[in-house]
A and B are shown apart, each in its own frame.
Chain A
Amino acid sequence: MNEALVFYVLATFSIISAVMVVFSCAVNSVLFLIMVFISVSGLFLLLGAEFLAMMLLIIYAGAFAVLLLMLPLMLNIKETYQHTAVKCSAFGVTVGLLLFSCLAFVLKVKPQRLENDVSLAVANNVKALGEVLYTDYAYLFQLCGMVLFVAIVGVIMLMIRNGMEIKEHKIAGQIIRSADEIELKQLTDGEK
């Protein structure tokens, strides 16, 4: 009963924010996306997947959201086009509804009758996941590392731009004075 209540609250929350992601602009939609992530991570917790819930919060809501926020904030994009064509949105909504009804239809035809009686929360989800990840899927896991590495190198290569000025302090240049730049003057009393 309690669990059902939590599920419904989180589900409504995520549905509302998902819709708002699509229909609001720039920074707002990023914020709503963060809300979706938070509520989905709550659902993960409900399912007993502690590790993934926390990872979703750390990676998406923490690190990734900051990046996404930077995009509209830093690029100074003009929000002139906001869902200009009604035709397009109608088309989009139709596609979404069709997709959803197809998926729901599949569920209706072949309902998954698995009840929550199996002990979902393994005593220690993190440990159990680690044991699978580092044995059966060790190579795939390493491949993940490679993917991330390639992404890092790619992004850095993209960002190195020829002829881009980097503004930095040149302290030596500010401090050093050559002998001919300095002039000694004898001051009279009036000038002191």
Chain B
Amino acid sequence: MIISEIIILLSALFAASVLLIYVERKLIAAVRLKKIARVYGLMQPIADAFKLFFNETILPRGKTQVAFMLLPVLFFTSIVACWAVIPVDEGVVLADINAGALFLVAMFFLSICLIVVIGWASDSKYAMFGALHSVAMMVAYELSAMLAIVCVLISSGSMRLSDIVNAQAEMWYCLPHFPMFVVFFIYALVRTNCPPFRMSESGNISDGEYSIEYTSVGYIFIAFARYVNMLLMSAVITVFFLGGWLPPFEVELFLLIPSVIWFGLKMSLCLLIFIFTKTAFPIYRYDNLVQFGWKMFLPFSLVWVIAAAGYTLVSATGKF
């Protein structure tokens, strides 16, 4: 039954993101030599959730109230919907549609659009400016990331995600398309609001953030969507560049390990790198960041797409 599968997916995502929140806090504390609360810091996330639930809900006074209440849920949905097409193992996927990669791109764009709408619905200057900043930043990197996906599609010759994974049996695409891998990884950092690109650890109390007006349950949805987004981006990187559920080498010992575990390992590797960049790197200035996206990444990835297409054409037909 599809409903039970959806419920399983949602609860797995919930568990994974709670775990992710905990691990992230522990790692950041370790790197910054902070003291951790009692019981290994286990009570901290629970206390945070408790605090958020019993926050007072504040709504804007204007005519945007309905949109304001609906939007966090929509934002959350637009991110969770991506998980429907991601194959965790051979055949373990909610909907293995033909245009899976296109669906992912569509949902990425939709969530960006929703951020602008959140900024509008918050009915406050700060939320609006935060939304505009986020969107300008994401769009600057979005195009080159989409070109990175195009490179992968050219090499694999299919838009179905499980076909893309199977096409990487010989070589993961992070090796031949290494620069595109880097581009996509940086895009993932931008999307997950990791601090080289955004100051977001303080969440709803920092200004310059589109979620500034949200309190209580609305904020829980947005914050949760961010963690699910982190998981999602690492899964997308795993599928597109790190060979999905395939083991790195065709060795007996590696083949013994179930392939879901390989998927999980690759995902957690990506997540660890996300978290470490969060702790270790300083924040760039906003205009440098946008210029870097438009002036460096975009031309470079365009050239790379042409090169990849040319190489595929030559190797397929055998002539220039």
CB–CB under 8 A between A and B in the complex?
yes
Interface stretch among B32-40, B107-115, B231-239? B107-115
- Complex CA gap A54/B107 in Å reads 9
Q: Count of chain B residues with Cβ under 8 Å from any Cβ of A? A: 22
A residues 39-82 near B (Cβ < 8 Å) are 50-51, 54-55, 57-58, 61-63, 65-66, 69-70, 73
Q: Is the CB of B287 within 8 A of A125?
A: no
A123 to chain B, nearest CB (A): 8
Is B59 located at the chain interface by the 8 A CB criterion? no
- Complex CA gap A124/B285 in Å reads 45
Question: Chain B residue with minimal CB distance to A30?
Answer: B117
Is A126 located at the chain interface by the 8 A CB criterion? yes
Q: Is the CB of A169 within 8 A of B287?
A: yes
Q: Is the CB of B102 within 8 A of A62?
A: no
A59 to chain B, nearest CB (A): 8
Cβ of A189: which chain B residues have Cβ within 8 Å of it? none
Q: Is the CB of B117 within 8 A of A126?
A: no
Q: Is the CB of A31 within 8 A of B67?
A: yes
Cβ of B116: which chain A residues have Cβ within 8 Å of it? 66, 69-70, 73
Question: Chain B residue with minimal CB distance to A51?
Answer: B99
- Complex CA gap A130/B108 in Å reads 23
- Complex CA gap A111/B135 in Å reads 47
Q: Is the CB of A27 within 8 A of B98?
A: no
Q: Is the CB of A62 within 8 A of B112?
A: yes
Is B105 located at the chain interface by the 8 A CB criterion? yes
- Complex CA gap A187/B99 in Å reads 74
Is B52 located at the chain interface by the 8 A CB criterion? no
Given the known interface contacts A65-B113, A169-B287, the answer about A54 and B98 at a Cβ–Cβ threshold of 8 Å is no
Q: Say which residue of A31, A63, A125, A169 sits within 8 Å of B99 (CB atoms).
A: A125
Cβ of B117: which chain A residues have Cβ within 8 Å of it? 31, 69
Is B227 located at the chain interface by the 8 A CB criterion? no
A residues 104-151 near B (Cβ < 8 Å) are 124-126
Chain A contact surface mostly: helix
Given the known interface contacts A66-B116, A73-B120, the answer about A54 and B128 at a Cβ–Cβ threshold of 8 Å is no
Is A34 located at the chain interface by the 8 A CB criterion? yes
Between B103, B106, B108, B120, the greatest number of chain A beta carbons within 10 A of the residue's beta carbon is seen for: B106
Is A168 located at the chain interface by the 8 A CB criterion? yes
- Complex CA gap A31/B112 in Å reads 14
Is B272 located at the chain interface by the 8 A CB criterion? no
Q: Is the CB of B113 within 8 A of A54?
A: no
B158 to chain A, nearest CB (A): 8
Is B97 located at the chain interface by the 8 A CB criterion? yes
B277 to chain A, nearest CB (A): 25
Given the known interface contacts A31-B67, A69-B117, A73-B128, the answer about A57 and B99 at a Cβ–Cβ threshold of 8 Å is no
- Complex CA gap A54/B146 in Å reads 14
- Complex CA gap A61/B105 in Å reads 12
Q: Is the CB of A54 within 8 A of B112?
A: no
Cβ of A69: which chain B residues have Cβ within 8 Å of it? 113, 116-117, 120
Q: Is the CB of B98 within 8 A of A58?
A: no
Q: Is the CB of B109 within 8 A of A58?
A: yes
- Complex CA gap A170/B112 in Å reads 31
Is B159 located at the chain interface by the 8 A CB criterion? yes
Q: Say which residue of B99, B120, B139, B285 sits within 8 Å of A54 (CB atoms).
A: B99
Residues of chain B touching chain A, judged by Cβ–Cβ distance below 8 Å, are: 67, 97-99, 102-103, 105-106, 108-110, 112-113, 116-117, 120, 128, 135, 139, 159, 285, 287
Residues of chain A touching chain B, judged by Cβ–Cβ distance below 8 Å, are: 27, 31, 34, 50-51, 54-55, 57-58, 61-63, 65-66, 69-70, 73, 124-126, 168-169
Can you list 18 A-B contacts with CB-CB less than 8 angstroms, sorted by A residue number? A27-B120, A31-B117, A50-B98, A50-B99, A54-B99, A54-B105, A54-B106, A58-B105, A61-B109, A62-B110, A62-B112, A65-B113, A66-B116, A66-B135, A69-B116, A70-B116, A73-B120, A126-B159
